Amino acid sequence: MLILACTHFFAQQRITLNDMRQRYAEFLRQEVDTTISRENDEVVISSYHCYNEKGKKYQNPRMDKDYAYMLAEKLRTPEYPDKRHYWSLIDYEKVNHHVFKNISHKTPIERRRLKYVHKSFVRYLALDSIDGIGPSLWPKAFKRKYYRPKHKFHYAKAVSDSLFLLNEVRNMLGYTIAPHFEDAVIKKGHVRDYSYQRCEDQMRELMYLGPIPVIDRKYSRLARIRMRLRGLDDEINSRLTVVDHGVEKKSYDLLIVMLPDERADAEMLSCTGEVGPEFEQLRQHIRELPPQFFVRYWMVDGQYLPGFYLQATIYPNGTWRFSMDKFLMQVTHRVW
C-alpha cells in the first residue's frame, strides 16, 4: 500500500533538535509552561439540521464538558486582536422539502433514504464568543458583521481568510502539537474549500493488532497514541530473540529524530540505570524501521517538530515497552 507523507505549503522546520533538548532539560527542572498560548484560537465542528426527527436542530459540541476542538493561530477580529476567540465551523444540512410531499405511503426506511439523497451540505464559520463574552453583549455594529442570521443560526460574514487548523491537539512538554491538520478557505463566512490532511504513518496500520485498552474518558485523546505505540512494541520485539538476559528493568528517555529520508533515529536523553549495550541495539532497530513509520507532529503555525519524545522501558526478559504519557501534559481548562 502506498503511503504518502503530509506536506503543507507554509510549513517550515524552525524548531531545532537543540531546542527540543533544551526543552527536555527544562522539563527535568520543572520549568515547562504547559498552558496553551493565548494567541491560539479554538474551533469546533457544529451542525445544523433543517430536518431532524429528534427536533434538536443546532448542535454545538461545547455543550459537553469534554469536547473535541481544533486550534488556529490568530483567527482574530480586528476589533479585539488581544482576546481569544471561540469559533464554530457549522455543518449545514439542508433538505429539499418538496420531496417529502405525499410520501405517507413510504416506509420509514424509504423516508430516511429520501432524506439522505435529497439534502445538500454547506459549511459556515460562526463566532461563538470572545474570551467568554457571548453575542448578547457584543456591540451592534460588531454583531452586524460577525453574527449575521442565516436560516436559524448565525455566521461571521465579515471573515475571508485561509485557515490552518490543528486536529487532535495535545501538549508535549509545552509544545502544542497534533498529528493531523485541516485546511479551510473562508469567503465572507462561507467555507469554500475544506480538506482534512491525515499524516499517514505505517504505525497506524499496526495499531489495530492488539486489543483496545480501556482508558478513562478524560484521557481518551491519548488513546490513539497509546495504540500506535503498541505497534512499535510489536515491531521492535519481533526483531529480538526474547530470552532471560538478566538485565535490570530500566527506562530510557529518548528523542526520536525524524530524518530527511522519512526514517528515524534515536538519541538518548537520560536513563534510570546504567546505560547498557541494549540501547545501541534498540537504536539500530529504530534506524531499520521502514520510512514513515512514525507520524510527524505539527504546530499551530504550520511547522512540524523535527522529532518527538519517547520513553523506552526494557524488562529483565529483554522485551521493550514504549510510551509517550510522561511527556504528554494536561491542557489547561478553557473558558468559552
**Tens of pLDDT, residues 242-294:** 544 567 899 999 999 999 998 999 999 999 999 988 899 999 999 998 888 88
pLDDT band at 312; cut points 50, 70, 90: very high
Question: What is the DSSP pairing of strand 40-49 with strand 85-95?
Answer: parallel
Among the ranges given (42-51, 65-74, 131-140), the one the predictor scored with the smallest mean pLDDT: 42-51
Q: What is the pLDDT of residue 254?
A: 97
Q: What is the pLDDT of residue 58?
A: 73
Higher pLDDT, 313 or 295: 313
Sign of CA dihedral 217, 222, 224, 228: negative
Q: What is the pLDDT of residue 74?
A: 77
Q: What is the pLDDT of residue 271?
A: 95
Cell of 35: 498552558
Q: What is the pLDDT of residue 133?
A: 93
Higher pLDDT, 3 or 220: 220
Percent above pLDDT 90 for the chain? 36
Looking at residues 88-92, what average pLDDT do you find? 88
pLDDT band at 234; cut points 50, 70, 90: confident
Higher pLDDT, 49 or 226: 49
DSSP letter at 118? T
Q: What is the pLDDT of residue 331?
A: 56
Sign of CA dihedral 188, 190, 191, 193: negative
Of 234, 323, 243, nearest to 285 by C-alpha is 234
Please calculate the CA angle 330-333-335 and round it to the nearest 5 degrees: 160
Cα 74 to Cα 87: distance, rounded to the nearest angstrom: 12
Q: Is the pLDDT of residue 73 over 90?
A: no
Mean pLDDT in the chain? 77
Q: What is the pLDDT of residue 179?
A: 81
Q: What is the pLDDT of residue 195?
A: 74
Please state whether 228 falls in left (phi above 0), alpha (psi between -120 and 50) or beta.
Answer: alpha
The pLDDT tens digits for 176-219 are 888 888 888 999 999 988 776 655 444 443 333 333 333 333 33
Cell of 262: 522519512
Q: Counting Cβ atoms within 10 Å, is residue 89 exposed (0-12), middle (13-18) or buried (19+)?
A: buried
Q: What is the pLDDT of residue 221?
A: 45
3 state SS of 321: strand
